[in-house]
Structure 1
Amino acid sequence: MSRVLSRALCRAATLSAGLAGVTVLAASAVAQQAPVGDGAEGQREPPVPVAGNAAGASVEPSEAPLAVASDAEDDAAKYRRFDALAEPGLTTSVPGSADSLLRDAGGVRSMLAEHDIGIQARLSMVGLYNPLDTGQPYAPQRYNGQRPTLQYQATNIVTTIGLDKFGLADAKLILGYNSQITTFRPNGQNTVGFRNIALYQSFADNKIELKLGIMPNYYEWVGFFVGGSPVLASGLTGLIPIQAGLSADPAATPAVNLTFHAKRGGYLKLGVQRSTAPAGTPYELDHNGPNVAFKMKDAGPLYIGEVGVKRPASKDGKQIWVRAGALYNDSNYTRFDGQGTAANKTVYGAADFQLTQPDRAQPSHGVYAGASVFWAPSNVNSMTQFYEGRVYHLGPFASRPLDSVALRVGYTKYSDDAQTANAAQEIYANDHQFSVTGSYTFHATHGLYLTPGVAYIKNPSFIGRFKDALNLSGTIYVLL
């Protein structure tokens, strides 16, 4: 029994101290994630800039308007073609190819598009540090930011190949690569592997979507990057579904997702996935080589369903996204009371509404408000409840149309069973965490986003009597 309890305590400490980085390293997500249960919202994909004639180009006055309009239309159509070849079936998006460093340098993207091939490459880096006295010894490190922490430096490359030429209309093969470096072991490990080996197929004029293969499933569900895009985020909104086995970067797993679309943005999504290892993401990465394992110790099938309404902002209306879902994981999670193992589950709901729309020409600009609620059982999860309220503004200044600013308030309830198990071992454990996080995302130039942030966190670690933290963070996100 002591061995079982010790294993459970170890897992509880790992989840509570590092889950914010463990399962969401979101290399491509570039979200600065506050420790243990703190969340953060993402934003939408920014408007795609249109490239016109070079400044100062000399044309005859009578020809100039037509020439400029023609070039702009050609460029816009070209980039729309590139973006149509991006990875499909996601609830999360990143800025389009027009907002990338390389854009169509050397005509490479155009050449690939001629063969129905699209490519997206992203680099990200997140660093955190709490400059205040932690109230605990320097070692061991219990949470991101307790010491200067490189939460992760990551590279994602995702290639899609259209299969029309092979007789599969509206189908794509998706191949992805992921690498990651981190200085805090609970965030995972330094790793290189496959991120995607998947097939996408749509039916009935995109009213039905099927996606199957190896993939990080948190891009497909819940809306962890609220509003759409991790680029303009400073972390994830809620970690409980990931704690309960939903796969996330850098640990992709086999999955099948099926989505049905209805009128006015309604949808129903169903899926099954091989759970990530109940022992945690570090264990998954240690035993999954390049991320192609169909089996993992104690990991069984994870079933998930979600229903919602998602309507993007347009000149005719404001954005709305309301969703609710449930997850059941038939895997062997060690119980905190030492009484063997149990399955895991999660219930969640979230909503985001656009409150203002100051410019119909830029319909996504304006102030948004949202909230999220998550629940999981106390017998096998360190985090059992999470609540968040958020307000964010896209395009806060006319002179900075691709910037965003966000404020989030989050509350995490920790497991009573895990606290009891820790108390039996004379280990101090907190019963909750409270956080307030603010961030501003600067669009520096094509393909470069910088997000400084600050987070006040009460009880920054589940285990240990830490003083309140003031995590300072910096995120760099590059789209190639």
Structure 2
Amino acid sequence: MRWQARICQGLLIAFAGVAPTGVHAAEVASPPQPSVDAPAPTAVKPIKQKKRSSTSSTIAKGFDAAPIPATAPPPSVAKPSAPAMSLDQMNATLGYKGWNIPFPSFSDTLTQDVGGFRSALAEEGFGLLFVSPEIMQANMLDTPRQVPSTYPVCTSITRIGGICAGNQAYFGQSFGNTYTLKPYLTYDLGRIGLTGGQLAFAANVTTSTNDAYLPTANRITNLSWYQPLFDGKVEAKVGWFAASDEVIGTYVGGNFSSPFGPSASIPAELGLATEPFAAPAVRLKWNISNSFYNQFLVQRSNPVNGPTGNPIYDEIHSDGVGLRFDSPSRERERYF
């Protein structure tokens, strides 16, 4: 009887939480009393529970209740993004550097920052600007629109600016036009520690009705590194670029494109590289004061004694890519 009572008591305790169907709650809650001969049960010392912090989860009472999860960590606070760079800020850091006249501004572009594409490029240190000059000229007077037929017949050489029968003595004597599309891509070298420095790349697509005025060509026209030194007292640039925009003012009245053509200047006739074409060069500028400076330039000359006598035409047709260091043209007889 003693062992049987212990076994029954253990079974009842084990199944006290699950009452079979049809059994009253009183029967489950009150186990049968042990016999007189059975020893009194030993009092069980209660187990002290550790005090839980208010943030920890509590255990639900009963088998049917689901546990309450621990308090979720506070949501992460989104890091505020930097404000988008304005067009004026882009001009200061990403506009092409080195010209002795103001470079076309991002604020003057047709597309501005539509869709945020310029801001997205600026966040990565890049600036992009398309320059597209177009010139159309025509003679509106009752004067000859070409060289009279009494002059010698044009050849493949003399047609480039030569005074020969049926040719134009100047651009616009009869209707003519030129169109150039020139993208400038710049990169801010301040991102790698070269404060104020800039890498620049540009190419041009030019179509023209008069090769003597401006030849038709697709060519790289800029690959340069600009770097200020000694807190801006000295500016240095090296690479391929048009030196005419760097050291002299070739444009009349602030015009971006000269109506007289790039060859219609003494420096260009003497071999100075001019827009939209370039040559390898090194330029140093000493800013003596805010209003006084001195410049020094060394540039590989355009072929002033090339086959046609037109330095820009001969440069284009002797170096189509635009990145040749030496001039492939040699001194030859000039044709007129």
Q: Which letter does structure 2 place at the counterpart of 1:210?
A: A
- Give the TM-score of the pair, scaled to structure 2: 0.62
CA offset digits 1:395-433 (Å, max 9, x no partner): xxxxxxxxxxxxxxxxxxxxxxxxxxx8xxxxxxxxxxx
CA distance in 2, matches of 1:205, 1:236: 37
Whether 1:183 aligns to 2:209 is yes
Contact 2:318 2:329 in 1 (8 A): no
Give me the TM-score of the superposition, normalised by structure 1. 0.44
Query: The residue matched to 2:127 in structure 1 has which SS?
Result: strand
**2:283, 2:213 → 1: CA distance?**
27
| Rounded Cα–Cα distance in structure 2 between residues aligned with 1:227 and 1:207 | 29
Residue in structure 1 matched with residue 277 of structure 2 by the alignment = 251
Residue of 108, 112, 118 corresponding to 1:109: 118
Tell me which amino acid in the other structure corresponds to 2:269.
Q
Residue aligning to 1:284: 315
**CA–CA separation in structure 2 for the residues paired with 1:124 and 1:156:** 9
> Percent identity among equivalent residues?
26
- Structure 1 residue runs without a partner (length 5+): 1-73, 300-331, 337-421, 423-480
Does the 8 Å CA contact 1:242/1:248 hold for their aligned counterparts? yes
User: Partner residue of 1:78?
Assistant: 86
Contact 1:276 1:284 in 2 (8 A): yes
| Paired residues of 2:179 and 2:206 also in contact (CA < 8 A) | yes
**Which of the pair has the greater relative contact order for Cα pairs under 8 Å at 6+ separation?**
1
Aligned-residue offset at 1:193: 1.2
Relative to structure 1, the CA distance from residue 153 to residue 335 in structure 2 (aligned partners, 3 Å threshold; closer, same or farther) is closer
Query: Does the 8 A contact of 2:96 with 2:103 survive in 1?
Result: no
Which of structures 1 and 2 has the bigger CA Rg? 2
Rounded Cα–Cα distance in structure 2 between residues aligned with 1:258 and 1:226: 25
In structure 1, the residue matched to 2:244 is: 218
Residue 143 (structure 2) aligned to one of 130, 133, 137: 133
- Residue 276 of structure 2 aligns with an amino acid whose one-letter code is P
Within 1, Cα distance between the matches of 2:192 and 2:102? 27
Deviation at residue 264 of structure 1 after TM alignment? 3.6
Q: Is the 1:92–1:230 Cα contact (8 Å) retained in structure 2?
A: no
- Aligned-partner residue type, residue 91 of structure 1: N
Asked if residue 293 in structure 1 is aligned to residue 324 in structure 2, the reply is yes
CA RMSD, 1 decimal: 2.6
Structure with the higher strand share, 1 or 2: 1
* Structure 2 gaps, min length 5: 1-82, 150-165
1-structure distance, mates of 2:334, 2:170: 23
Q: 1:116 touches 1:161 (CA, 8 Å); kept in 2?
A: yes
In 2: Cα distance, 1:186 partner to 1:147 partner: 14
C-alpha distance in 1 between matches for 2:261 and 2:276: 15
Residue 276 and residue 285 in structure 1: after superposition, are their counterparts in 2 closer, same or farther (change >3 A)?
A: same
Q: Partner of 2:120: helix, strand, or coil? A: helix
Instruction: For 2:253 and 2:197, locate their aligned partners in 1 and report how far apart those are by CA, in whole Å.
Output: 26
Q: 1:38 aligns to what?
A: none
Q: Match for 1:169 among 181, 195, 199?
A: 195
